[in-house]
Chains A and B, each alone.
Chain A
Amino acid sequence: MASSGFSIQNIPQLPPDPLFGLKARYTADTRTNKVDLGIGAYRDQDGKPWVLPSVKLAEKAIHEDPAYNHEYLPIAGLQQFTSAAAKVILGSDSKALKDDKVVSVQTLSGTGALHVAALFIKRFYKGSGSVYISSPTWANHIQVFETQGLKIESYPYWNYATKELDLKGFLGAINSAPEGSVFLLHACAHNPTGLDPTRSQWTEILGAIKKKNHLALFDSAYQGFASGSLENDAFAVRSAIDSFDGSLPILICQSFAKNVGMYGERAGVFHYVSATKDAALQSAVLSQLQKITRCELSNPPAYGAKIVSKILNTPELYAQWERDLVTMSSRIKEMRQTLRSELESLGTPGTWDHITTQQGMFSFTGLSKPQVDSLEKDHGVYLVGSGRASMAGFNLGNVKAVAKAIDQVVREASKL
């Protein structure tokens, strides 16, 4: 066997990424009744990926445009895309935009934006060194920040006993964290729990953050997906923008993977919102963000940005997109209601109202790892080990069967 310059001891085999690994096991599973409740991608009522009608229309328009080409985008990305994206999250009448306080750069979807945020914080933020993430949070959050040498702390979020928000614990962590710490907040449709603070809870949370001069870092991957309304789902971000105006900067990582179904096209934006307008600082920030992009990608991918830009900047397409969001979110809501009522009518031990109070793509079912393993092994129902189920994977064709399977594994567990 050939030898290698790479030391064998230094390159251990890693287990596959939990989410991509789950997908791989599901794909390899030959059972016809298998159900994929793993990866966070929307599925229609037939369990198929759904290309949004607004996307199809936008693509048609793009291809018919004689100016369509494959030229490089500027380093900061497609400007029509990033500025329209800012309006989506901040509101087109946002004071932050009127005051010209926002710096935006295109990124490789949400992960790319988080990566830029991590690098930017590591290099330039002179506040506390730790990044506070919710317990639990999206698995990849930890790697994104740790690989850039940032220290991770967690704040209480999901109360495993009550399946509710541990507001007291959350506020306690905000208050005890060193001043100027970074707090990673899920803008809406918390991943993996689906549990979002209420509006009054957000007001308390943001108030506590402001008091400690923390840096709020919003991860917005599901705007429009949670309630069906872009405006409703932006409440937390816009509240922070209003409340921190004049005192604290805010960072926002924005993904269009789910709400425009751009998964593989990787369309995202990173926004830096100044406390107050500071042209010199904002120019410096933009130049450094461009430098980050240049040294890793040169410039971001064009196609997805063009599609989203087309939608956001064409009123008829924007209106279609808003309808598409209602289509997706209402089907998910329907599935939540159906699953809950199935479990309740089966008399499955436990309480199941959290399924309908949670919102967005995911539900933290409350199932334990052994129960999840049993679901996968014995019933071909694939959930993430934490008990996270993708509600988009449910449809009228499988919800009854999955409810029965859940019922079985819960009853078996209670026998032990």
Chain B
Amino acid sequence: MLKFSRAFIRNSSVWASVQQAPADKILGLTVLYNKDTNPSKINLGVGAYRDNDGKPWILPSVVAAEKVLSQTEENKEYVPIVGSPNFNSLIKKFLYGASASGQSLVDSGRVVTSQGISGTGALKVLAEFTKSFYPIRKVLVPNPTWANHIAILEKSGLETEPYRYYDYESNGLDVTGLLEDLRKAQEGSVILLHACCHNPTGVDPTLEQWDEILEVVSQKKLLPILDMAYQGFRTGDPIEDLAILYKFCDLVAAGKLDNFMLSQSFAKNMGLYGERVGSLSIVTSGEEESVRVKSQLEKVIRPIYSSPPSHGSKLVEIVLSNPEIYAQWLKDVKVMNDRLVDMRALLYDKLKNTYKNPLNWEHLLQQQGMFCYTGLSPEQVSSLIDKSVYLTGDGRISIAGIYEKNVDYLAKAIHEVTTA
């Protein structure tokens, strides 16, 4: 009996340091939402697109790709560590092909790509690679940024430092603060930038402001990590939304920037969320360096997961290479984006015209992408949750969770908590 209890105590003590970790803020919200029995409940938490009935939407192009795949798939073999050669060449064409400078980087062997486990996994690999091979551990991140950015970077052994981004007064971009912080930063720091549709604020620099930012990036020799998870949700056109990526390519082609990295996701714009498909790019000095970089990328990836999941990547390959399905995909993205734009307008209309809410809601129309940073306080957020409207504590709402049947309830709830 004594031996048992001594052993028990000794052995439960080997996990003595395991503390209960707090629930993930964003994904934990869905858990609460699911438990709520209020029929009017609204989930404005996760950035996953919903149709006008509040249902997940499988893109017609993806349905078509899935049909092709079921007829043509030969096996379930491992794909190479960095993904299949076909996937990588399609990705390069898709991301860089419509830009002269981008294509020239690809042609001169300066772009190393790899399949990533969606955007998160791509960022994780880039963070590990940076930690291993870049002498500076500091990563400048916008304030605020997606909460998981900090976790991914810091768990990979990097340090994060915020740069001013969101102006809480104007609900817009604090471009002066941003540029000041970049100019003050340590030369050669890594900098995380959102390629479009900033998460959580929805506030993006204008094209002119981007040029100013890139000028400082160049002067300070910063190493950019461009995170692109919402391509297609800025203008509704995925290729037009590559404009910022092309600016980076232009800068490199002009010799004003040596390297940048890109993490890219198909989770939202192809609705492939759970299939975890995305990519990463590393721009190098040339073919020779690319070969070395690729070999080290494989070394980073192999002990984490050996090789990426194939199903999502096979669907992406079909969408990107089949002209009819690709054309359908462009339409599908526009459908999603149009609905989000419509919902912004509808909510605005309800707030200002139906409920005559006194607050300024212009930012609802100006911010882009899936999210709106409402400007609501934590207390107001809490009150909304009491009304079964679920949003994150920072006041971020996912426009995708709004649809015609719930927008009135939402507007009324927002009105009530802001005028109480």
Contact = CB atoms under 8 A, between A and B. Distances in A.
Nearest to A302: B274
Contact of B188 (A5, A11, A63, A294): A5
B221 A5 contact: yes
A284 B19 contact: yes
A266 B76 contact: no
A192 interface: no
Contacts of A284: 15, 18-21
B274 A7 contact: no
Identify whether the interface residues of A are mostly helix, strand, loop, or mixed. Answer: loop
What is the interface residue range for chain A against chain B?
Answer: 35 or more
B133 interface: yes
Interface in A1-26: 1-8, 10-17, 20
Interface stretch (B93-101, B204-212, B291-299, B406-414): B291-299
Interface in A51-92: 51, 55, 59, 63, 68-75
Contacts of A261: 76
B276 interface: yes
Contact of B133 (A6, A71, A304): A6
Contacts of A265: 76, 309-311
A143 B302 CA distance: 8
Contact of A248 (B11, B66, B77): B11
B307 A266 contact: yes
A351 B133 CA distance: 49
Interface stretch (A119-127, A193-201, A359-367): A119-127
B250 interface: no
Contacts of B298: 14, 16-17, 20
Nearest to B31: A74
B24 A70 contact: no
Contacts of B74: 49
Contacts of B148: 294-295, 298
A147 B312 CA distance: 28
B12 interface: yes
A68 B134 CA distance: 43
Given A41-B78, A126-B14, A295 B151 contact: yes
State the 4 A-B residue pairs at the shortest beta-carbon distance, nearest first.
A264-B310, A302-B274, A4-B285, A49-B75
Interface of B: 4, 7-8, 10-24, 27, 46, 48, 56, 58, 62, 66, 70, 74-81, 110, 117-118, 120-121, 124, 133-135, 148, 151-152, 155, 188, 221, 223, 252, 255, 258-259, 271-276, 284-286, 289, 291-293, 295-296, 298-299, 302-312
Interface of A: 1-8, 10-17, 20, 39, 41, 48-51, 55, 59, 63, 68-75, 108-109, 111-112, 115, 123-127, 140, 143-144, 147, 180, 213, 215, 246-249, 257, 261-266, 275-276, 278, 280-281, 283-285, 287-288, 290-291, 294-304
Given A72-B274, A296-B121, A303-B311, 12 more contacts: A6-B293, A49-B74, A63-B66, A126-B16, A215-B14, A287-B22, A294-B24, A296-B120, A299-B274, A299-B276, A302-B276, A303-B312
7 contacts: A1-B285, A63-B66, A112-B305, A284-B19, A287-B20, A296-B120, A296-B124
